[in-house]
Amino acid sequence: MAPGSARGVPCARQSRNLGGRVRFLTGAKQEGELRLLWSRDLRFAHRVAWNLPTVQAYELDAGVVLIGPAEELTDAHAAEVAAATQSAAYGLVTLDSRLPEGERHLVALSAAVQQSGLAERVGMAQSSQLVQTKMLDYFFTLKNVHAIAYQPIVELETGRLVEYECLFRPQMPGLQTSISTIVQAAIDTDRTIELDKFIVRAILERVGALQAARRTARQPMLHLAINFTPASLLDPHFEAAAIADMVEDFGLDPRQITLECTEQQAVSDNRPLVKQVKALRRFGFGFAIDDAGAGYASFTLIAALRPSVIKIDREIVTGIARDDAKQALVEAFVSFGGRIGALLLAEGIERRADLATLTSLGVDLGQGYLIGKPALEPRQPRPMETLRLGAARKTIGRKVREADPRARTSLRRIADHPV
């Protein structure tokens, strides 16, 4: 089925269109709590949606989906129709509004399939994977649509710019989703290598053009970080010499590139990965372990890989100024990194207090919205002297005085008549 944006069909008015196949679960915006019903029984779904004017219907290869307000798609109504249609199997769940739109539909669809009981039957165990496969197929057709953002990484002590992390931003008309959802779908459907080939080539093409423009303008070359999954680093397509050749084909130098290995995927045998990392380091690549402390990598694995950078997961970074346990964990990482010659990088820094704590603990590098948000063109990070706690207090005081002349008068009186 050719990719395209999906449109919901109000069943009460255009129920005959229920047979029209659609690609993804997108439709008119609806207010309030929404529910999703899934069934393989077309007749059952048709009867459930009959006379429910705001319910949207979608036919997928794996069955029929209805989405509508909770007050219309009720358990009692669905059970009544099921009893009248020889107890058709179905699943009815509430959408999680905390998730992005595309993700909440995929999660709800998977839950509804499982709830229906059909997931255990022959041919239905892969229903949720079928949705993921369709999403990936759509993703791969949009080569020239996706965006790449650059987020600065700096030395915490000085604020000096070190490199930019290249963040792939999926742009999928009709489906709002994140790169983490795409990566998880690739892992679940055994397509991580295909995904990394696609993303890496797209990033190298954009970065190569960026560096060429800077070279022409006699500007200094940028250092950049690119993410990989462990499975891809073990694939022959990404053998160290092949990666070096690919990088050089786009006019880049391996010494300008740090390869980040995500912990989102486990590796059964670490020895081939250790061998690959050593080969990459010989070609001049930097190597970083991403999300340390939150995924599969242990201190033993990190020690064996000998990365140049250990990235501390944002869940550890957030709120560290008020959490003794997190501080103790980071202290251990700093000591460990020093012993194996790796720099520590804190990701997800958003508060000045956390920045101050991380700096005092000896963390070398940092990135996050406080320092610089991802942008479609590389931007300079915020000056570190403006991010210190003392600088923040001075800035707030100055803005208060500038905004309210009475504050200036009060401060002058205090100065003239000290207590």
pLDDT tens track for 190-237: 898 999 999 999 999 999 999 999 999 999 999 999 998 888 888 888
Instruction: Please report the pLDDT score of residue 320 as a whole number.
Output: 97
pLDDT digits (tens, 9 = 90+) for 332-357: 999 999 999 999 999 999 999 999 99
pLDDT at site 162: 97
**Which range, of 163-177, 193-207, 236-250, averages the lowest pLDDT?**
163-177
Looking at the structure, tell me whether residues 306 and 238 fall in a common domain. Answer: yes
Least trusted range by pLDDT, from 5-19, 161-175, 393-407: 5-19
Residue 142 has pLDDT above 80, yes or no: yes
Question: Residue 284: its pLDDT value, please?
Answer: 96
pLDDT greater than 70 at residue 19: no
Give the pLDDT confidence score for residue 134 in this predicted structure: 81
Q: How confident is the model at residue 413 (pLDDT cuts 50, 70, 90)?
A: low
In this prediction, residues 11-17 reach a mean pLDDT of: 36
Q: Are residues 14 and 130 in the same domain?
A: yes
pLDDT at 293 over 80: no
Answer yes or no: is pLDDT of 137 > 50: yes
* pLDDT of 288 strictly over 50: yes
Helices 240-249/192-216 angle, 10° precision:
40
Do residues 114 and 155 both lie within one domain?
A: no
The pLDDT of residue 363 is above 90: yes
Q: Can you tell me which residue has the tokens 């949606």?
A: 49
Strand partners, 226: 259
Q: How many domains does the chain have?
A: 2
Least confident of 101-105, 265-269, 305-309: 265-269
Q: Does residue 393 lie within any of the structural domains?
A: no
Do residue 163 and residue 260 come from a single domain? yes
Angle between helices 192-216 and 127-140 (to 10 degrees): 20
Best mean pLDDT range from 2-16, 164-178, 348-362: 348-362
- pLDDT of 317 reads 96
Within a 13 Å sphere around the CA of 370, how many CA atoms are in the beta-carbon half?
26
Q: Among 345-349, 369-373, 406-410, whose mean pLDDT is lowest? A: 406-410
On the question of pLDDT at 75 being above 60, the answer is: yes
One domain, residues 155 and 116 = no
Which positions ≥6 away from 260 have C-beta within 8 Å? 165, 225, 226, 227, 228, 288, 289, 290, 311
Q: What pLDDT is stored for residue 183 in this prediction?
A: 86
> Average pLDDT for residues 230-247, to the nearest whole number?
90
Report the alpha-carbon distance of residue 414 to residue 408 in Å, rounded. 10
What's residue 265's pLDDT?
56
Query: Does the residue 241 lie in any domain?
Result: yes
Q: Given this model, what pLDDT does residue 296 score? A: 52
pLDDT of 264 above 60: no
What pLDDT shows up at residue 409?
54
One domain for residues 128 and 182: no
Domain co-membership, 204 together with 325:
yes
In-domain check, residue 154: yes
Are residues 69 and 106 in contact, defined by beta-carbon separation less than 8 angstroms? no
CA 55 – CA 408 distance, rounded (Å): 60
Domain for residue 337, yes or no? yes
Give the residue with greater pLDDT, 259 vs 3: 259
Of 89, 110, 136, the domain-final residue: 136
Q: Quick one: 123 and 222 in the same domain?
A: no
d(CA 214, CA 220): 7
| Residue 257 and residue 308 share a domain | yes
Answer with the residue of higher pLDDT: 139 or 115: 139
Q: What is the pLDDT averaged over residues 46-57?
A: 90
pTM, two decimals, is 0.66
Q: Give the per-residue pLDDT at 119.
A: 47
- pLDDT tier for residue 176 given thresholds of 50, 70 and 90: low
List the domain range (segments joined by +) for residue 41: 9-136
List the CATH number of the domain containing 345.
3.20.20.450
Phi, psi of 412 (to 5 degrees): -65, -40
Percent of the chain with pLDDT over 70: 78
The yes-or-no verdict on residue 65 having pLDDT over 50 is yes
> Is 194 within a domain?
yes
pLDDT tens for residues 102-128?
678 877 887 787 777 654 443 444 556
At residue 17, what are phi and psi to the nearest 5 degrees? -80, 0
On whether residue 407 sits in a domain, the answer given is: no
- pLDDT of 64 > 80? The answer is yes
Average confidence score pLDDT of the chain: 82
Domain boundary at 136, 153, 168, which? 136
Q: Are residues 126 and 187 in the same domain?
A: no
- Check whether 25 has a pLDDT greater than 50: no
One domain, residues 255 and 303? yes
- Whether 396 is covered by a domain: the verdict is no
412 found inside a domain: no
* 183 in the same domain as 122: no
